[in-house]
Amino acid sequence: MNINKLHEEFKANLRKEQRWVRFYQLLILVSFFVLWEVASALRWIDQLIFSSPSKIIQLFVEKIADYSLFYHSSYTLFETVLGFLLGTLVGTILAAILWWSPFLSKVLDPYLVVLNSMPKVALGPILIVALGPGMSSIITMGALISVIISTIVIYTAFRTVDSNYLKVLQTFNASRFQMFKEAILPASFPTIISTLKVNVGLAWVGVIVGEFLVSSQGLGYLIIYGFQVFNFNLVLMSLLVIAIFATIMYQLVELLEKKLIKSE
Amino acid sequence: MSFLTVSKVHHTYFSSKTATEALQDINLTIEKGEFVSFIGPSGCGKTTLLSILAGLFQPTAGEVLIEEQDVFTNADLSIGYMLQQDYLFPWKNIEENVTLGLKLLNKNQEESSKVASNLLKDVGLPPVEKKYPRELSGGMRQRVALARTLAVDPKILLLDEPFSALDYQSKLKLEDLVHKLMKEYGKTAVLVTHDIGEAIAMSDRIFLFSARPGRLHQTFVVPEEVRRLTPFEARANPSYSSLFQTIWKELESLEHQQTS
């Protein structure tokens, strides 16, 4: 029996399985686009509504050449990243305030429930009137949509930290701020990271809806404009660009998660 | 005047439905450098009393004085508290865990890390400063917790069943270690335990509590010849066995009273 050899075999099997997973993932992707192209070319589906991959790519190249895609996506990306960071940061700060004052958290409890269940995008028109039809109201929308749920989830994480850690700190006469810094916050990092993951998706919803309403620039604007002039090539292309960016953002959060957990 | 005085302490826990009397009229004194144990059936309030000694909360009535200062109102009285489990912070390395108390007191970092490495040596650990708690065994982690408690040079050590979660061998070793360190540093210590043998082997005096409500039932003085031995050797002494029998019978009769 050779342990090393067995280990090599085991690793080879793992690699083999991984290759097959990748293969099928790629297969689904390629067949989806091929089927779409063929269905569109043979008129199985309405070209006007469902477009086709070749047309989308053609438009994509065109929009890159005249820099307009770069212009619109940079707006949307900036707004989304800012809304996402703001939503999580403000959510964490609000959660910290609630943890700080148990009395306040009891008082505010029903309001949080109401605010959480209310569809935040419905506030869009008010935001636009209040903050003007520009970037600031779109960023606010991106943040607003995630801030309440972040507050609730992170506050719950703060509260469920094992009280014995606090007891240890209390015997060292730690202040409430020191307890927060030394135990509550670091113990809740995993939860904060998982809220970040949820907030990536939420921020995109908020920003795209915001751009629908403001309708001056951004990928949301391209979608609503494409809809109004019945150019579904433009709508689908914007959608694909959004999917790519959202995936990249999610991957970055996962990378952050791995980094933080490794240092623990 | 004694080092620690508990006078007329009562404590009642309130909830919206019930008021549970946990402690009733507790009076006791502990001398400097003494090692005492609290034993009794579950529900006798020994952990409540320990928390009150630590100044974690104020008793419903009565007061606890250490060197004539009230433990609840004098936050700067330094008290060491060891829990059943180590509760080392998993995101801090061993050195950061040991120096936690010093950090909270704003002590110089370089000095703190010197204190930490000396303490780790004293509790019988190899240099593990840069390791994380999950890399250590249960016994080693409890030793680190002991070092963390000693790092702030507490006036008194409160031990809340710190050996109960360990395997038997680690438990015996750690008992010997704590016993030796307490004598070397001349610290006063209070141990809460379920284990009669542990109480006899480690202490100078044993307070037996009765339950519901918790009252001080009887005090036993451990014979001089057992006290001089290490906890491990003490277990083989004839006086140890006879005291064990006495306390055992007393505990049995207490539990019998409760059930009848």
pLDDT of A94 over the 90 cut? yes
CB contacts of A189 in chain B (<8 Å) are 91
Question: In this structure, are A121 and A232 located in the same domain?
Answer: yes
Give me the pLDDT at residue A80, please.
Answer: 92
Same domain? For A59 and A31 the reply is no
Together in a domain, A90 and A153? yes
Could you tell me if residue A133 is left (phi over 0), alpha (psi between -120 and 50 degrees) or otherwise beta? beta
Q: Mean of the per-residue pLDDT values for chain A?
A: 89
* pLDDT over 70 (residue B259): no
Cβ contacts (< 8 Å) between B148 and chain A: which residues? 168
CB contact under 8 A, B104 and A172: yes
**A98 and A27 part of one domain:** no
**Per-residue pLDDT at B183:** 83
Distance between alpha carbon A25 and the CA centroid of its chain, in Å? 22
The CATH number for A202's domain is 1.10.3720.10
Residues in Cβ contact with B163 at an 8 Å cutoff, skipping those fewer than 6 apart: B142, B171, B174, B175, B193, B195, B198
Residue A78 banded pLDDT, cuts 50, 70, 90: very high
Q: Is B255 helix (H, G, I), strand (E, B) or coil?
A: helix
Q: Are residues A23 and A98 in the same domain?
A: no
Same domain, A140 and A233: yes
What's the rounded mean pLDDT across residues A7-24?
A: 92
Sign of CA dihedral A156, A160, A161, A165: positive
Cα–chain-centroid distance for residue B248?
21
B226-248 tens-digit pLDDT: 778 888 888 888 888 888 888 88
Chain A residues bordering chain B (beta-carbon distance below 8 Å): 162, 164-165, 167-174, 178, 182-183, 186-187, 189, 264
The verdict on a CB contact (< 8 Å) between A171 and B91 is: no
pTM score of the predicted model: 0.81
Window B:168-227, CB contacts with A under 8 Å:
none
The token pair that represents B13 in the structure block = 């826990």
Tell which of A165, A167, A172, A188 to mutate to test the B interface (max B CBs under 10 Å): A172
Is the reported ipTM for this assembly greater than 0.95? no
Chain B nearest-CA residue for A162: B87
Q: H-type helices in B90-212, by residue range? A: 94-98, 100-104, 109-122, 138-151, 168-185, 196-202
Domain count, chain A: 2
Q: Specify the higher pLDDT residue, A34 or B210.
A: A34
Say whether A264 and B90 touch across the interface (CB within 8 A). Answer: yes
Together in a domain, A10 and A78: no
Q: Which domain holds residue A14?
A: 3-45
Residues A146 and A17 in one domain: no
Q: Which of B56, B80, B104 sits opposite A178 (nearest CB)?
A: B104
Helices A135-159 and A102-117: crossing angle in degrees, nearest 10, is 130
Do A107 and A235 reside in the same domain of the chain? yes
CB atoms closer than 10 angstroms to residue A64: 11
CATH code, B1-29+43-77+195-260: 3.40.50
Claim to verify: residue A101 and residue A204 sit in the same structural domain: yes
Domain boundaries, chain B: 1-29+43-77+195-260
* CA–CA min distance A245, chain B (Å): 32
